[in-house]
Structure 1
């Protein structure tokens, strides 16, 4: 192994698995090894990583490679661009693929919510989100994927991780129904974007400790309308728009923004609504501790049975139970 070129010391690095570097893929970041108490340059930024590079690492039993922290954005873009290959590569352990899926999705969704957005969702953000949905649906349909992702699901509530959790749960349930591939994609996209309108809600309200005032609740209830407005210029189907606009509707007509009842609420929306409630109940919020899954499901079954579709609820429980999440 040629390790003669040494890196400058006063920089920080983060470790990644060697399996995350793909033969013939080009990365705009340098790769380092830890040898003899120092970081040693292995491949340069812009250098094509070859099969021979990977073989050498394997032959030398290298378990971790390192990338400079200053080049983390380049590495994250590289993972996004190769996400489809990663998730479909069955030679990689499902735990590794699950971790990559969760972390890549988190980077994209955090970008959407943490940046100062204009009145509309930028097309480049939308393209990254649609890529996440396209690349992950087949993976989420595979055996054991849901249980493999479960350890990475955070119970500390953030809007962007909440959107990811609702997407994961919803797609798992979609795939247990007789939905076409295009319907799963369109509604999965709606699930991932269901709370995008919260980017327009003041953070002092979203992060408030304690109960909201009536006026603050009314502001929060505007987020489905904001979400659809932010996406109006994007190429979305009615299925996707319905999921963003109606995910707070209730079967008994007490939801918002339209007060829809029973059969007027599309089935995929009912699934997203249920996943939304479940994740909200089981994650820590500024004003409430997260419940245990059984406690949350019991509350939903007894106290929300008029608002939620109980047939969907049974299917949701079956899917979570089948993944050993309960």
Structure 2
């Protein structure tokens, strides 16, 4: 029976606002209903549980989607809520992030991907997300998620795809973690862009496009006080640079663009085309790769791109 439930911290069951899932408490191998879907779960309930020595409450696996959707929809404002202890907010961020990464592996990537690859990426996302639960970083992430949750979920997709690419090279672990942080934070400068522009359903004006094109510079500024390596900052600042010099903000060309940045760029473009946005419908993986090959061959590193294709086809993973 225990396999029908999964444990969560009481603090992860957000107070005052409840989703469409039941909460259970455990006694030995039996589970008792503690709060029905929609019932309020208050600080009083949490104190009772903690005073009784219960560290977890339980949710049925078949209600996991409702639980996950609920905590992600409120993630940004939760991370900024000073009434919730910082360790609890960090745990919410950590578990939500890992949930998104697991979802990418189960729904987006081919089933041929080796389990060791999954475990390795999970190891890096664990280290990266642990870093992002530090106090200053937590506030920063809360701000961007509250501003535009889609940017956050997109960034975790880019993290996974770029990590899979860069694992096929011989980088040190400490460098891989920094590349991963750069990928997770690559669009953080969009917190400086008005939502009316980010979510505009129609074509952007030239002025709006120029405004959006400032987000890498804003991102580097936002992260300047975080203990990031130059590699991580490069991924944030240069992920829209192109090999032919047509990118922004610096118009870098060829060898001036570091390899980790090239991987993040390919991952970023792929997920952007794949995903549905207010201004465009998403498309399938095959058509996305064809668009990238036919329309961007002078802009992206085709050797890195070929490695990405091998990963998505489930072959040639080192």
TM-score normalised over the length of structure 2 = 0.63
Decide which of 126, 137, 143 is 2:137's aligned counterpart.
126
Counterparts of 1:262 and 1:228, CA distance in 2 = 21
Correspondences of 1:169-180 after superposition (within 5 Å) = 169-180=161-172
Matches within 5 A, 1:191-270: 191-270=183-262
Does structure 2 retain, via aligned residues, the 8 Å contact 1:270–1:308?
Answer: yes
CA drift of 1:228 comes to: 0.6
Aligned to 2:91: 81
Q: Which has the larger radius of gyration?
A: 1
| Mapping of residues 151-190 of structure 1, within 5 Å | 158-190=150-182
Structure-2 change in CA distance of 1:75 and 1:172 (3 Å): farther
1:309 aligns with 2:301: yes
Q: Unpaired runs of 5+ in structure 1?
A: 1-15, 89-93, 110-120, 131-156
| Residues in 1 aligned to 2:161 and 2:191: alpha-carbon distance in whole angstroms | 22
Q: What is the deviation of 1:214?
A: 0.9
76 and 169 in structure 1: CA distance in 2 versus 1, 3 angstrom threshold: farther
Give the distance between the partners of 2:171 and 2:249, measured in 1 at CA.
26
1:232-283 alpha-carbon deviations (Å, 9 max, x no partner): 1221110110000000000111111111111110001000000110011011
Q: In structure 1, what is the equivalent of residue 33 of structure 2?
A: 34
After alignment, is 282-291 or 302-311 more displaced? 282-291
> Compared with structure 1, are the counterparts of its residues 75 and 320 closer, same or farther at alpha carbon in structure 2 (3 Å cutoff)?
farther
Residue from 45, 49, 53 that aligns with 2:54: 49
TM-score (norm 1): 0.61
**Structure 1 CA distance, aligned partners of 2:164 and 2:47?**
39
Cα separation, 1, equivalents of 2:261 and 2:97: 27
Alignment CA distance shift 1:43-1:163 (3 Å): same
Note if contact 1:28-1:45 (Cα within 8 Å) is conserved in structure 2: no
How far the C-alpha of 1:311 sits from its partner, in A, is: 0.5
Q: Which residue of 1 aligns with 2:5?
A: 18
Q: Is the 8 A contact 2:201 2:278 kept in 1?
A: yes
For residues 177-212 of structure 1, give each alpha carbon's deviation from its aligned partner in whole angstroms, at most 9, with x where no partner exists: 211111110010000000000000111111112111
Find the residue that maps to 1:46 and give its secondary structure.
helix
Corresponding residue SS for 2:251? coil
Structure 2: state its 5+ residue gaps. 16-22, 25-31, 40-44, 79-83, 108-120, 142-148
| Counterparts of 2:178 and 2:226, CA distance in 1 | 13
SS at match of 1:19: strand
RMSD between superposed Cα atoms in Å:
4.7
Rate the CA distance shift 1:64–1:43 in 2: closer, same or farther, 3 A: farther
Query: Deviation digits for residues 201-226 of structure 1, max 9, x if unmatched?
Result: 11111111211111111111000000
State the distance in 2 between where 1:21 and 1:233 align. Answer: 33
Distance change in 2, residues 1:80/1:258 (3 Å): same
Distance 1:252 1:85, change over 3 A: closer
1:129-148 alignment runs, 5 A limit: none
- SS of the residue aligned with 2:33? strand
Give the total of aligned pairs: 248
